[in-house]
Structure 1
Amino acid sequence: MVNEKLNMQFVVAKELIVSSRATYYGSPDCKGTPTGACGFGEYGRTVNNGEVTGVSRLYRNGSGCGACYQVRCKIPAHCSDEGVKVVATDYGEGDRTDFIMSTRGYTKLARPNMAAELFAYGVVDVEYNRVPCRHGRSLALKVHENSNYPYYLAIVPLYSDGISDINAMYIWQDREWRPMRRAFGTVFDIPNPPKQPLAIRVQFIGPQTKVEWAQSTNAIPEDWEVGVVYDTDFQIN
């Protein structure tokens, strides 16, 4: 039943399937890297059970961070029918590749006991399409390690669901919504944040450039701490 559902993702969205290539990078535990260009930190290493990927053109100046893709390779003897669902957590360029996967993600492309054959190829032809993320929890906002209380605040959103990109983030200050700067990847920052519980507003851009908004009145407390993850009360489906 699981395989049937995954295969249907390719059938239903056949016109959205893209042909490309994928390779992999090594790490001690076969998961991702905590120093990825998206700014996710440890989340970028372990989210989705470590089945993550670096992307190049899909990075889209950081707005592609956190997107989910269903990817399968095209070698019938070695590649599984369903492929693997990976989360984009880093930037990476390869030999005409759209995906540089964690070892754990790349392994999932293979049929049982066939991973060694795929690793021997090094780079494989794949087809992929974007699919909704499903983390099973509300969006969270992490105070990035570059922050310096109370003078400088940088925020990175985690566990974004659905199939939309986080395009912008705003903070309520002086009776208006003020835009935060995209510092890098999916990290948004602001100098001299207000000394009060922080209301945050997030703009999502979905398929066909559909715009959606969500906000939380007390998303981050006044006495926020560097490295702490704060849960919001919303999620995009």
Structure 2
Amino acid sequence: MAVISYFLLFFFVSSSCSVHHSDDSGYKTGNLAIRVEESSQSPSYLAIRFLNLGAQTEIVAVDVAEVGSPNWNFMNRKNEAIWETNSVPSGPLQFRVVVTAGLDGKWYWASKVMPEDWRNGEIYDTGLHITDTSIMDTTGEL
């Protein structure tokens, strides 16, 4: 069911969204960051939490891939804050996320985020600064 929902979301969002890229490795205040949760078990299980997103939007889809690879793996939402996967790519990791923006969603791509030797509890800067605002509230109402 989650896979079907993900692909429907991708179809809906990709029809009217833009993609933003970042490979900035220096941390900037307010940038979206990723915290590797303590439950992660390299290299087979990755659980992450996004930090500094702001209250005006939310992440609704997350993909992860090895840097430079076109093979993306979607991550499952464990709860409101945690995203997880049992299909962790090898090597340094890149992420792409869909955030609510206006009445649609917008793809953001962070091309160099986590090193191959990522560690539990560490925080990694995505280089993304998300300023979008969702017109819908968390229940999907205007």
Q: TM-score scaled by structure 2?
A: 0.65
97, 110, 114: which one pairs with 1:220?
Answer: 114
123, 127, 133: which one pairs with 1:233?
Answer: 127
Of structures 1 and 2, the one scoring higher in RCO (CA 8 A, sep 6+) is: 2
Letter aligned with residue 126 of structure 2: T
Q: Cα deviation per residue 1:53-79 (whole Å; 9 max; x = unaligned)?
A: xxxxxxxxxxxxxxxxxxxxxxxxxxx
Q: Do 1:201 and 1:215's aligned partners in 2 also have CA atoms closer than 8 Å?
A: yes
| 2:49 aligned with 1:156 | yes
Structure 1 position 184, deviation (Å):
1.6
Aligned partners of 2:121 and 2:65: how far apart in 1?
22
Q: Cα deviation per residue 1:10-49 (whole Å; 9 max; x = unaligned)?
A: xxxxxxxxxxxxxxxxxxxxxxxxxxxxxxxxxxxxxxxx
Q: Cα deviation per residue 1:71-129 (whole Å; 9 max; x = unaligned)?
A: xxxxxxxxxxxxxxxxxxxxxxxxxxxxxxxxxxxxxxxxxxxxxxxxxxxxxxxxxxx
Aligned length: 102
Letter aligned with residue 146 of structure 1: S
Q: Do 2:60 and 2:99's aligned partners in 1 also have CA atoms closer than 8 Å?
A: yes
Q: TM-score scaled by structure 1?
A: 0.40
Unaligned runs of 5+ in 1: 1-135
78, 85, 91: which one pairs with 1:196?
Answer: 91
Q: Do 2:73 and 2:87's aligned partners in 1 also have CA atoms closer than 8 Å?
A: no
SS at match of 1:184: coil
Q: Cα deviation per residue 1:126-180 (whole Å; 9 max; x = unaligned)?
A: xxxxxxxxxx520000001110111110111000036211111111256322210
Give the CA RMSD over aligned residues: 1.9
Q: In the TM superposition, what are the counterparts of 1:86-125 in structure 2 within 5 Å?
A: none
User: Quick one: percent identity of the two aligned structures?
Assistant: 31
Q: Do 2:76 and 2:83's aligned partners in 1 also have CA atoms closer than 8 Å?
A: yes
Of Structure 1 and Structure 2, the greater helix share is in 1
| 2:35 aligned with 1:138 | no
| 2:63 aligned with 1:166 | no
Structure 1 residues 196-205 or 159-168, which shifts more? 159-168
- Show structure 1 runs of 4+ deviating over 3 A: none
Q: Do 1:139 and 1:235's aligned partners in 2 also have CA atoms closer than 8 Å?
A: yes
Aligned partners of 2:55 and 2:102: how far apart in 1?
10
Aligned partners of 2:109 and 2:130: how far apart in 1?
11
Unaligned runs of 5+ in 2: 1-28, 132-142
Q: Do 2:91 and 2:115's aligned partners in 1 also have CA atoms closer than 8 Å?
A: yes
Q: Which residue does the alignment assign to 1:186? A: 81
Q: Which residue does the alignment assign to 2:13? A: none
